[in-house]
Protein backbone atom coordinates (compact mmCIF):
# COMPACT_ATOMS: atom_id res chain seq x y z
CA UNK A 1 0.00 0.00 0.00
CA UNK A 2 1.04 3.60 -0.52
CA UNK A 3 1.80 6.00 2.32
CA UNK A 4 -0.97 8.37 3.50
CA UNK A 5 1.12 11.40 2.48
CA UNK A 6 1.62 10.07 -1.04
CA UNK A 7 -2.04 9.12 -1.19
CA UNK A 8 -3.07 12.73 -0.49
CA UNK A 9 -0.75 14.01 -3.21
CA UNK A 10 -1.93 11.31 -5.57
CA UNK A 11 -5.61 12.06 -4.86
CA UNK A 12 -5.07 15.72 -5.83
CA UNK A 13 -3.36 14.58 -9.02
CA UNK A 14 -6.27 12.26 -9.86
CA UNK A 15 -8.79 15.05 -9.48
CA UNK A 16 -6.93 17.31 -11.92
CA UNK A 17 -5.48 15.22 -14.73
CA UNK A 18 -4.67 17.66 -17.51
CA UNK A 19 -2.12 15.37 -19.13
CA UNK A 20 -4.66 13.90 -21.52
CA UNK A 21 -6.10 17.21 -22.67
CA UNK A 22 -6.34 17.05 -26.48
CA UNK A 23 -4.70 20.48 -26.71
CA UNK A 24 -1.47 18.96 -25.34
CA UNK A 25 -1.44 16.04 -27.78
CA UNK A 26 0.35 15.96 -31.15
CA UNK A 27 -2.07 16.63 -34.02
CA UNK A 28 -3.66 13.68 -35.80
CA UNK A 29 -2.28 13.14 -39.29
CA UNK A 30 -5.05 12.76 -41.85
CA UNK A 31 -4.47 9.94 -44.34
CA UNK A 32 -6.50 9.99 -47.57
CA UNK A 33 -7.60 7.30 -49.98
CA UNK A 34 -7.55 4.30 -47.66
CA UNK A 35 -9.01 1.06 -48.96
CA UNK A 36 -11.32 -1.12 -46.87
CA UNK A 37 -8.39 -3.50 -46.34
CA UNK A 38 -6.25 -0.62 -45.05
CA UNK A 39 -9.02 0.44 -42.65
CA UNK A 40 -9.40 -3.10 -41.25
CA UNK A 41 -6.48 -2.97 -38.74
CA UNK A 42 -7.85 0.27 -37.25
CA UNK A 43 -11.30 -1.30 -36.99
CA UNK A 44 -9.75 -4.30 -35.24
CA UNK A 45 -8.01 -1.95 -32.81
CA UNK A 46 -11.38 -0.29 -32.08
CA UNK A 47 -12.93 -3.72 -31.40
CA UNK A 48 -10.20 -4.51 -28.87
CA UNK A 49 -10.71 -1.11 -27.27
CA UNK A 50 -14.49 -1.67 -27.17
CA UNK A 51 -13.82 -4.75 -25.02
CA UNK A 52 -11.84 -2.55 -22.63
CA UNK A 53 -14.63 0.06 -22.59
CA UNK A 54 -17.30 -2.56 -21.86
CA UNK A 55 -15.35 -3.96 -18.94
CA UNK A 56 -14.86 -0.46 -17.49
CA UNK A 57 -18.62 0.13 -17.63
CA UNK A 58 -19.33 -3.20 -15.92
CA UNK A 59 -16.77 -2.58 -13.21
CA UNK A 60 -18.00 0.98 -12.64
CA UNK A 61 -21.60 -0.17 -12.22
CA UNK A 62 -20.56 -2.80 -9.72
CA UNK A 63 -18.53 -0.29 -7.68
CA UNK A 64 -21.49 2.13 -7.68
CA UNK A 65 -23.94 -0.59 -6.61
CA UNK A 66 -21.61 -1.62 -3.81
CA UNK A 67 -21.20 1.98 -2.73
CA UNK A 68 -24.97 2.53 -2.73
CA UNK A 69 -25.44 -0.54 -0.56
CA UNK A 70 -27.49 -2.36 -3.19
CA UNK A 71 -24.98 -5.19 -3.56
CA UNK A 72 -23.79 -7.41 -0.74
CA UNK A 73 -20.19 -8.53 -0.36
CA UNK A 74 -21.26 -12.00 -1.54
CA UNK A 75 -22.88 -10.52 -4.65
CA UNK A 76 -19.81 -8.39 -5.34
CA UNK A 77 -17.58 -11.46 -5.07
CA UNK A 78 -19.88 -13.53 -7.31
CA UNK A 79 -20.19 -10.81 -9.96
CA UNK A 80 -16.50 -9.93 -10.06
CA UNK A 81 -15.65 -13.63 -10.32
CA UNK A 82 -17.80 -13.86 -13.43
CA UNK A 83 -16.30 -10.81 -15.15
CA UNK A 84 -13.87 -11.49 -17.99
CA UNK A 85 -11.52 -9.00 -16.37
CA UNK A 86 -11.34 -11.03 -13.17
CA UNK A 87 -12.09 -14.67 -13.83
CA UNK A 88 -8.70 -15.97 -14.96
CA UNK A 89 -6.48 -13.46 -13.21
CA UNK A 90 -7.17 -14.08 -9.51
CA UNK A 91 -4.18 -16.40 -9.42
CA UNK A 92 -1.99 -13.28 -9.63
CA UNK A 93 -3.30 -12.21 -6.22
CA UNK A 94 -5.42 -9.15 -6.90
CA UNK A 95 -8.96 -8.08 -7.69
CA UNK A 96 -8.14 -6.00 -10.74
CA UNK A 97 -8.41 -9.23 -12.62
CA UNK A 98 -7.76 -10.22 -16.16
CA UNK A 99 -8.64 -6.71 -17.25
CA UNK A 100 -5.41 -5.29 -15.85
CA UNK A 101 -3.41 -8.09 -17.43
CA UNK A 102 -5.21 -7.57 -20.74
CA UNK A 103 -4.51 -3.82 -20.75
CA UNK A 104 -0.88 -4.45 -19.80
CA UNK A 105 -0.47 -7.04 -22.58
CA UNK A 106 -2.22 -4.84 -25.13
CA UNK A 107 -0.06 -1.84 -24.26
CA UNK A 108 3.13 -3.93 -24.26
CA UNK A 109 2.39 -5.10 -27.81
CA UNK A 110 1.81 -1.50 -28.87
CA UNK A 111 4.90 -0.20 -27.08
CA UNK A 112 7.29 -2.79 -28.51
CA UNK A 113 5.76 -3.85 -31.82
CA UNK A 114 3.44 -1.09 -33.09
CA UNK A 115 4.81 2.27 -31.94
CA UNK A 116 8.30 1.80 -33.43
CA UNK A 117 6.70 1.15 -36.83
CA UNK A 118 4.49 4.22 -36.42
CA UNK A 119 7.43 6.37 -35.32
CA UNK A 120 9.40 5.32 -38.41
CA UNK A 121 6.85 7.08 -40.64
CA UNK A 122 8.24 10.53 -39.91
CA UNK A 123 8.44 13.21 -37.19
CA UNK A 124 4.66 13.77 -36.91
CA UNK A 125 4.00 10.07 -36.36
CA UNK A 126 7.01 9.76 -34.01
CA UNK A 127 5.48 12.52 -31.85
CA UNK A 128 2.20 10.58 -31.77
CA UNK A 129 3.93 7.30 -30.90
CA UNK A 130 5.96 8.97 -28.13
CA UNK A 131 2.84 10.55 -26.69
CA UNK A 132 0.84 7.32 -26.77
CA UNK A 133 3.68 5.51 -25.02
CA UNK A 134 3.82 8.24 -22.33
CA UNK A 135 0.06 7.90 -21.83
CA UNK A 136 0.52 4.17 -21.26
CA UNK A 137 2.65 5.00 -18.22
CA UNK A 138 -0.22 7.02 -16.73
CA UNK A 139 -2.76 4.28 -17.50
CA UNK A 140 -0.57 1.63 -15.88
CA UNK A 141 -0.07 3.69 -12.74
CA UNK A 142 -3.83 4.13 -12.46
CA UNK A 143 -4.39 0.41 -13.00
CA UNK A 144 -2.00 -0.38 -10.17
CA UNK A 145 -3.75 2.16 -7.95
CA UNK A 146 -7.09 0.52 -8.75
CA UNK A 147 -5.64 -2.87 -7.82
CA UNK A 148 -4.54 -1.42 -4.47
CA UNK A 149 -7.92 0.22 -3.85
CA UNK A 150 -9.90 -2.90 -4.74
CA UNK A 151 -7.69 -5.10 -2.57
CA UNK A 152 -8.11 -2.69 0.36
CA UNK A 153 -11.86 -2.62 -0.20
CA UNK A 154 -12.00 -6.43 -0.21
CA UNK A 155 -10.09 -6.51 3.09
CA UNK A 156 -12.33 -3.98 4.82
CA UNK A 157 -15.53 -2.55 3.36
CA UNK A 158 -15.73 1.01 4.68
CA UNK A 159 -17.13 4.25 3.22
CA UNK A 160 -13.60 5.69 2.98
CA UNK A 161 -12.38 2.68 1.00
CA UNK A 162 -15.37 2.88 -1.32
CA UNK A 163 -14.56 6.56 -1.93
CA UNK A 164 -10.91 5.72 -2.62
CA UNK A 165 -11.95 3.00 -5.06
CA UNK A 166 -14.43 5.28 -6.82
CA UNK A 167 -11.90 8.11 -7.08
CA UNK A 168 -9.29 5.88 -8.71
CA UNK A 169 -11.85 4.13 -10.91
CA UNK A 170 -13.22 7.42 -12.26
CA UNK A 171 -9.71 8.73 -12.90
CA UNK A 172 -8.81 5.53 -14.76
CA UNK A 173 -12.07 5.67 -16.70
CA UNK A 174 -11.44 9.26 -17.74
CA UNK A 175 -7.82 8.65 -18.70
CA UNK A 176 -8.32 5.30 -20.41
CA UNK A 177 -11.34 6.36 -22.47
CA UNK A 178 -9.57 9.53 -23.56
CA UNK A 179 -6.43 7.57 -24.42
CA UNK A 180 -8.29 4.90 -26.38
CA UNK A 181 -10.15 7.48 -28.46
CA UNK A 182 -7.00 9.45 -29.26
CA UNK A 183 -5.10 6.28 -30.10
CA UNK A 184 -7.82 5.10 -32.51
CA UNK A 185 -7.96 8.48 -34.23
CA UNK A 186 -4.19 9.05 -34.31
CA UNK A 187 -2.98 5.64 -35.45
CA UNK A 188 -5.99 3.53 -36.51
CA UNK A 189 -5.77 4.42 -40.20
CA UNK A 190 -1.96 4.49 -40.10
CA UNK A 191 -1.79 0.81 -39.18
CA UNK A 192 -3.20 -0.34 -42.51
CA UNK A 193 -1.94 2.59 -44.59
CA UNK A 194 1.69 1.90 -43.64
CA UNK A 195 1.28 -1.86 -43.16
CA UNK A 196 2.22 -1.72 -39.48
CA UNK A 197 1.47 -4.94 -37.63
CA UNK A 198 2.66 -7.38 -35.04
Evaluate whether residue 14 is within a structural domain: no
pTM as predicted? 0.76
pLDDT tens, residue by residue, 112-161: 678 888 999 999 999 999 998 888 878 777 877 877 777 777 777 788 88
Question: What residues make up the domain containing 93?
Answer: 35-193
Query: Residue 169 belongs to a domain with what CATH number?
Result: 1.20.120.520
pLDDT tens, residue by residue, 35-88: 999 999 999 889 988 887 887 887 788 777 777 767 666 676 666 666 554 443
pLDDT of residue 23: 83
Evaluate whether residue 2 is within a structural domain: no
What CA–CA distances, in Å, run from 53 to 32, 40, 144, 189, 196?
Answer: 28, 20, 18, 20, 24
Evaluate whether residue 18 is within a structural domain: no
Evaluate whether residue 118 is within a structural domain: yes
The answer to whether residues 168 and 14 touch, using CB atoms and an 8 Å cutoff, is yes
Evaluate whether residue 123 is within a structural domain: yes
pLDDT of residue 85: 44
What is the total count of domains within the chain? 1
Evaluate whether residue 175 is within a structural domain: yes
Evaluate whether residue 16 is within a structural domain: no
Amino acid sequence: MHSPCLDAIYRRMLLNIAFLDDATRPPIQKLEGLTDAQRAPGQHLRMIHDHLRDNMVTLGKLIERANAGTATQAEIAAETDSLAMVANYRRFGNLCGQYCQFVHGHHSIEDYAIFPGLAAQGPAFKAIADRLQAEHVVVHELLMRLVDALNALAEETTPARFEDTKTVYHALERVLLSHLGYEEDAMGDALGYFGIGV
